[in-house]
Amino acid sequence: MHRNKIVSREDWFQAHKAHLAREKELTRLRERIAAERRELPWLKIRKDYVFETGQGPKRLADLFAGNSQLIVYHFM
């Protein structure tokens, strides 16, 4: 189907239905990939990172007010 082409209501409906099916396919694929990302293995950080803050040097663990876990997604 071309842009700016006048079509019948039935032709439009068929094109719309096909497009909707592709959008649903994309949504299902995105959800599967997100689920796969959540199942990726975790990596425990053992290095003692220290950051300069307004209150002086702080360890990574100190930056999160008592929370023991930090999840970082890093994709390149």
Q: If you ran DSSP here, which 8-state letter would residue 59 be given?
A: E
pTM of the model: 0.54
- Per-domain residue ranges of the chain: 9-64
Contact (Cβ atoms closer than 8 angstroms) between residue 50 and residue 57 = yes
Length of the chain: 76
CB 63 within 8 A of CB 51: yes
pLDDT in tens, 4-58: 789 999 999 999 999 999 999 999 999 999 999 999 998 887 888 899 999 999 9
Tokens 């599967």 appear where?
A: 32
Residue 51 contacts residue 57 (beta carbons within 8 Å): yes
Distance CA 37, CA 40 (A): 5
